[in-house]
Structure 1
Amino acid sequence: MQPTRLTRGKAAAEEASAAQRLRTQLGAMVDVRESKDAEEPILGPGVRAAILGWLAEIHAAADLAAVGVKPRSTALLYGPPGCGKTTLAHHLAARLGVPLVIVQAEQLVESSLGGTGRKVAELFDGLAKVGAPCVVLMDEIDAIGSERSNDDQACAREMNAALTTLLQKIEAFGGRLIAATNRHDKLDKALWRRFGLQIDVALPGDDERWAILKRYGLPFDFDDDTIDGLAEITRGAAPSLLRQTMEGIKRTLVLGERLRLPVDDPAAVLRIVIEHARPHPDYQAPPLWADTSLARTFAPEAWPPARQG
Structure 2
Amino acid sequence: MKIAVHNWLRPEPLDVSIERLARLGYDGLEITSKPATTDIPHVKKLLADNGVESPGALAFMAGGLDLFSDEPFVRAGSLDYLKRTIDLVAELGGYFVTVPCTVGKVVPTASEEDEWRWYVEGLRTAQEHATAAGVRLAVEPLNRFETYLINRADQALRLAEEVGPDCGVVLDIFHMNIEERSWRQAIELCRDRLVHFHVADNTRGACGDGEFDWNAIVGALRAIGYDGYLSVEFMPPIDRTPLAASPIDDPEGQGLEASMVRWLRDHSSGVFRETEYTAWLTRSLRTLRTAIATTAGDRR
TM range (shorter): 0.3 to 0.5
Please identify which structure carries the higher strand content: 2
Of structures 1 and 2, the larger Rg is shown by 1
Q: Using structure 1 for the length normalisation, give the TM-score.
A: 0.32
